[in-house]
Each structure stands twice: as C-alpha cells, then as structure tokens.
Amino acid sequence: MDQSPPARLPDRGPRNQPPPSPVPDRGPLGQPPGSPGPSTDFLVPIVDSENAQFWEGTAIGELRMQSCSNCDRLRFPPRPMCPYCHSTRRSWKVMSGHATIWSFIVAHAPLPPAYAQMSPYNVIIVSLDEDPVLRMVSSLLDHPGGAVNEVNPATIQIGEPVKAVFCEQAGIWFPRFVRA
C-alpha cells in the first residue's frame, strides 16, 4: 500500500474573479470627465419583440403593461405566455403611473463603475395601482429629472404613494417615480 501524500492540483488563484482592470475616473453620472454624453457603462435593456411596446411607451411618457387577451390579466415583465391561463395572445394597456412603494434598499459601494459615483442611492420596488401584484424595480426621485441620490433614504416609507415620471439615460427612457 502506497503511503505517499495525495497529489495536489496547481494553485490557479482566486476563483470566479475576473483579472483586475484599471477603472477610469468617472463623473457624477458615470461618464468619463469631459464626455459629451452618457456613459455606455450603464446597464441598458435589450429591446426585443416582447418588450418593444413597453420601451416605445416610456419614450412618449406612457407606462404600458402587457395584458393577456384571453384572461385580461396584466403582466410584467413582458413575456410570450400568460402565467395565469397560458395563452400566447397578448395586447398592451396604458397604466395610470400611480403606484405604492412595496419595498426599497439603499445601494452603497462597491458597485459597477458607472454607478459608484452615484452611491448611495435608493432602489425601490413599487406595486402598480391597477394590479398590486404587478411590481417594478425603479428609483425614487425628489422631482422629475432629479438624481437618484437626492432623496434622503430615511424619508422613504413603505406604503407611500408615488407617480411615474420618465428620465432619459444612455438613450433609453426609464420609468422612475416621485412622491404623489
């Protein structure tokens, strides 16, 4: 019987970590200093045939939700099949934009570089008045066009009524919320 110690695999360094890369300085909205426009480092949605109507609505100031043409239930995020009746027939409805804060967190560094200069900032989950089961992740702003880090997180209340506003970032109009 061999009494030698078991063979060891070579050390490959930390696992699941990308190699370090230099992070350029960023302005207050994540863009490089002197940049004329927004950074492309922001996470932006991929617009496809399932969600195009939603993003077309936000670009004109409408909050649209997908609706099942069979059972008339609303759903978000958009998807090909109704989770309630399994129909693939769908349409779009314009919502009022009124909602209630269902939950929230405050994001602190470390964050991706485009977001780090904005921290700490709030991330809210709202339930829409048309269907409280419909929930969206967004941010609470002090006023339309305001920055995501202007609201004092200590003032955010679960159950607080809010209203959708639309803000452009990286070429996409995102729904954000202000106090109603």
Per-residue pLDDT tens digits for 78-114: 999 999 999 999 999 999 999 999 999 999 988 888 8
- Whether residue 71 contacts residue 87, with contact meaning beta carbons closer than 8 Å, is answered with yes
Q: What are phi and psi of 160, to 5 degrees?
A: -70, 135
Residue 30, pLDDT > 90, answer: no
| pLDDT category of residue 43 using cuts at 50, 70 and 90 | confident
Q: Please classify residue 54 by burial: count the beta carbons closer than 10 Å to its beta carbon, then call 0-12 exposed, 13-18 middle and 19+ buried.
A: buried
Which pLDDT score, from 0 to 100, does residue 39 have? 47
Q: Which residue has the tokens 């890369």?
A: 21
Could you tell me which residue, 34 or 44, shows the higher pLDDT? 44
pTM equals: 0.76
